[in-house]
Chain A
Amino acid sequence: MSKIVIAVPRGRITKECKNLLLKTSFAPDPLLFDKDTRKLTFKSKKRNIEYIKVRAFDACTFVAFGAAQIGIAGEDVINEFDYSEIYAPLDLNIGHCRISVAALKSLLKKEDPETWSNIRIATKYPNITKKFFYNKGIQVEIIKLSGSMELAPSLNMCRRIVDLVSTGKTLKENGLTEIEEIMKIQSKLIVNRSAYKTNMNEVSKIISEIGTFVK
């Protein structure tokens, strides 16, 4: 039996991943979900299946390069990297949120977003952002940040951001207003293309077992 590595993202969907994966016949060592552990690789109930804990933004890259054969990743990350070597065959119905464009409230008093032609945006999603504004005929200059996007407008780096929005509370607390939703997001099970082709039986079993526990 071939070894299969599953990449699980740390961060906001840890609890939902735990609820899902602990029900399976290949449940990971519960230590995987412990915030304080520094371990990165974990055994499972099945000898040939192992887990790795990775940054949510890196899950796709680990799977695309074949370091992990299966993983969990948000549609934001899947779309941002758009790797040709990744399949995403299953919606996990967890980690729901959206990617949106937001701007300073004060800016919106002065200008109408319909009139934008060349704008600067802080985001950690340069590809999604460029594509979205390209389709609208708007030239966009990207400031690539990895976090704390909401700070950029208040510190005059730029006046608009593209970021994940869940409740909208963080935006509000930083004087920002959501202008337009770019896409709805949820987490998906992702599979390395080569692993899917060369180990179809085993990979399909894992996909369908996880599928049975998706609410």
Chain B
Amino acid sequence: MVNKFLVPAGFKDSLNFDASIEHKYKNRIINYFRDNGFTLIKTPLIEFSKNLDRNTLTLKKNKKNDQLSIRNDITPQIIRIASSRLANKIRPLKLCYYGEVVRKMGTILRPERQFQQVGAEIIGSESYKADVEIINLAYETLKKIGVKNIVIEITAPFFLESLFKKITNKDLKNKLKKYIKLKDINNCLKLLKKNELYDSFKTLHLCSGSIQNKKKYISKLSKIIGYENEVERLVKIANLIKTSKYDSLNVDFFDLQTNKNYYKGIKFTFFAKDVRGEIAGGGRYNLKYGSNSETAIGYTCYMDTILRSSSLTNQNKKILIAFNTSNKIKQQLIKKGYSLFKTFEDNIDIKKEAKKFGIKYYLINNIVKKI
């Protein structure tokens, strides 16, 4: 028999600090995108299963026998909206969103199955400035919520994909992919000895690192691999991303897409020092509907990871006040950043009462006192 207090594996009750700080950070991110002209939209929690990918939690079929699932990613919903209800709206569309997503399975490294996803998309603009806008806004939001020592990594999966297309030997291709996944350049190059693609793979690897140190290799990239326009575009984007001296911009073209392999142009990922895994990311992808298709660039982050990455501490100043405190005083306290906790008891020692509730501040004779 299941203990009635248990919740299913991967789910949790988020109490106190976590819930309030998640709410605050989510608002900061969304408001920053809204301040920059992005329209906030809200999408349903349940979708027809055929609209979603794997790892969705499937529900019972409805009366019409349609299979329904709880969304595990909001981006496909944005794609559905952009290609249907908003298909005739003038481009570029700038949308932002937030909401809970649920996964069927967790992993060892990420057992959580419910997260709050926050993101933004620019749909219908091919301009490199759209890429720059999304990356810069995303970077600013992370800074606003106290993420320190940020590394922005730009990758362009199409370089590696184009090289793999030239390899006909399936066994060689699989072995190369395995070594690239492990970042094992020595074994990669051993496999490619006497192969015409040796220099191409080597150059791609040499391009990995801080953009400042790698510009000379990147400039050679188009001579060896081609994609002159794409390389030029990439350099333009990189030049317009401004990071603080504590943060950095890296490139890594020697990286295989492991998940979300729908990215068709550049892909970007945010890491932070001493924080496990990636903290946020996004990239350019194609929307296809009917005979139409258009390009989009999106950014997404999950609030549980953001909470782990933030260096901000709980600054919520709760204060115990008498129930009959005047509205004017209450407004002043709220303005000063206090969160008011009104006692329902009369004739009590307010200091003792504050201690009882573990509240740091109390108001006595209209003066704020700290315990």
Give the interface of A toward B (CB within 8 A).
2, 64-66, 78, 81, 83-91, 188, 191-194, 196-200
- Size class of the B contact interface (CB-based, 8 Å): 20 to 34
Complex formed: what's the CA distance from A85 to B108 in Å? 11
Chain B residues 244-279 with CB under 8 Å of chain A are: 250, 252, 258, 269, 271-278
- Please give, as numbers and ranges, the residues of chain B lying within 8 Å of A64 by CB-CB distance: 108-109
The segment from B74-82, B183-191, B221-229, B326-334 that touches chain A is B183-191
**Residue in chain A with minimal CB distance to B183:** A87
- Please give, as numbers and ranges, the residues of chain A lying within 8 Å of B149 by CB-CB distance: 198
- Please give, as numbers and ranges, the residues of chain A lying within 8 Å of B131 by CB-CB distance: none
Complex formed: what's the CA distance from A76 to B105 in Å? 25
A198 near B273: Cβ-Cβ < 8 Å: yes
A197 near B275: Cβ-Cβ < 8 Å: no
**Residue in chain A with minimal CB distance to B185:** A89
A89-B182 contact in complex given A83-B109, A197-B271, C-beta closer than 8 Å: yes
A198 near B182: Cβ-Cβ < 8 Å: no
Most chain A CB atoms below 10 A, which of B183, B210, B273? B183
- Please give, as numbers and ranges, the residues of chain A lying within 8 Å of B108 by CB-CB distance: 64, 81, 83
A88 near B182: Cβ-Cβ < 8 Å: yes
B109 near A198: Cβ-Cβ < 8 Å: no
**Residue in chain B with minimal CB distance to A214:** B186
B250 in complex: contacting residue of A66, A90, A192, A200, CB < 8 Å: A200
Can you list, as one digit per residue, whether each of B193-231 has a CB less than 8 Å from chain A (1) or not (0)?
000000000000000111000000000000000000000
Chain B residues 105-122 with CB under 8 Å of chain A are: 108-109
Complex formed: what's the CA distance from A87 to B255 in Å? 11
**Residue in chain A with minimal CB distance to B259:** A84
- Please give, as numbers and ranges, the residues of chain A lying within 8 Å of B183 by CB-CB distance: 87-89, 191, 196
Q: Is the interface of B mostly helix, strand, loop or mixed?
A: loop
5 additional contacts (CB under 8 A) given A78-B182, A83-B109:
A64-B109, A81-B108, A84-B258, A191-B183, A193-B277
**Residue in chain A with minimal CB distance to B209:** A200
Q: Is the interface of A mostly helix, strand, loop or mixed?
A: mixed
- Please give, as numbers and ranges, the residues of chain A lying within 8 Å of B278 by CB-CB distance: 194
Complex formed: what's the CA distance from A183 to B297 in Å? 42
Complex formed: what's the CA distance from A140 to B149 in Å? 47
- Please give, as numbers and ranges, the residues of chain B lying within 8 Å of A197 by CB-CB distance: 151, 153, 250, 252, 269, 271
Give the interface of B toward A (CB within 8 A).
108-109, 149, 151, 153, 182-187, 208-210, 250, 252, 258, 269, 271-278
B277 near A194: Cβ-Cβ < 8 Å: yes
B184 near A89: Cβ-Cβ < 8 Å: yes
- Please give, as numbers and ranges, the residues of chain A lying within 8 Å of B210 by CB-CB distance: 200
Complex formed: what's the CA distance from A91 to B271 in Å? 26
- Please give, as numbers and ranges, the residues of chain B lying within 8 Å of A188 by CB-CB distance: 182, 184
Q: How far is the CB of A134 from chain B (nearest CB, A)?
A: 16
**Residue in chain B with minimal CB distance to A211:** B186
Q: How far is the CB of A202 from chain B (nearest CB, A)?
A: 11
A194 near B109: Cβ-Cβ < 8 Å: no
A88 near B184: Cβ-Cβ < 8 Å: yes
Complex formed: what's the CA distance from A81 to B108 in Å? 9
Complex formed: what's the CA distance from A84 to B278 in Å? 11
**Residue in chain B with minimal CB distance to A3:** B274
A91 near B186: Cβ-Cβ < 8 Å: yes
- Please give, as numbers and ranges, the residues of chain B lying within 8 Å of A194 by CB-CB distance: 271-272, 275-278
7 contacts between A and B (CB under 8 A): A66-B274, A83-B109, A85-B276, A87-B184, A90-B184, A197-B252, A198-B151
- Please give, as numbers and ranges, the residues of chain A lying within 8 Å of B151 by CB-CB distance: 197-198
A91-B276 contact in complex given A83-B109, A84-B109, A197-B151, C-beta closer than 8 Å: no
Complex formed: what's the CA distance from A66 to B108 in Å? 13
Q: How far is the CB of B260 from chain A (nearest CB, A)?
A: 12
Most chain B CB atoms below 10 A, which of A66, A78, A191? A66
Complex formed: what's the CA distance from A89 to B179 in Å? 8
**Residue in chain B with minimal CB distance to A191:** B183
Complex formed: what's the CA distance from A85 to B305 in Å? 15
A2 near B182: Cβ-Cβ < 8 Å: no
**Residue in chain B with minimal CB distance to A78:** B182
Most chain A CB atoms below 10 A, which of B153, B184, B269? B184
B273 near A2: Cβ-Cβ < 8 Å: yes
**Residue in chain B with minimal CB distance to A66:** B276
B109 near A85: Cβ-Cβ < 8 Å: yes
B276 in complex: contacting residue of A2, A65, A196, CB < 8 Å: A65
Complex formed: what's the CA distance from A145 to B130 in Å? 54
B277 near A85: Cβ-Cβ < 8 Å: yes
Complex formed: what's the CA distance from A199 to B153 in Å? 12
Most chain A CB atoms below 10 A, which of B210, B274, B278? B274
Complex formed: what's the CA distance from A4 to B148 in Å? 18
**Residue in chain A with minimal CB distance to B272:** A198
**Residue in chain B with minimal CB distance to A192:** B276
Q: How far is the CB of A192 from chain B (nearest CB, A)?
A: 8
- Please give, as numbers and ranges, the residues of chain B lying within 8 Å of A84 by CB-CB distance: 109, 258
- Please give, as numbers and ranges, the residues of chain B lying within 8 Å of A199 by CB-CB distance: 273
**Residue in chain B with minimal CB distance to A200:** B209
- Please give, as numbers and ranges, the residues of chain A lying within 8 Å of B153 by CB-CB distance: 197
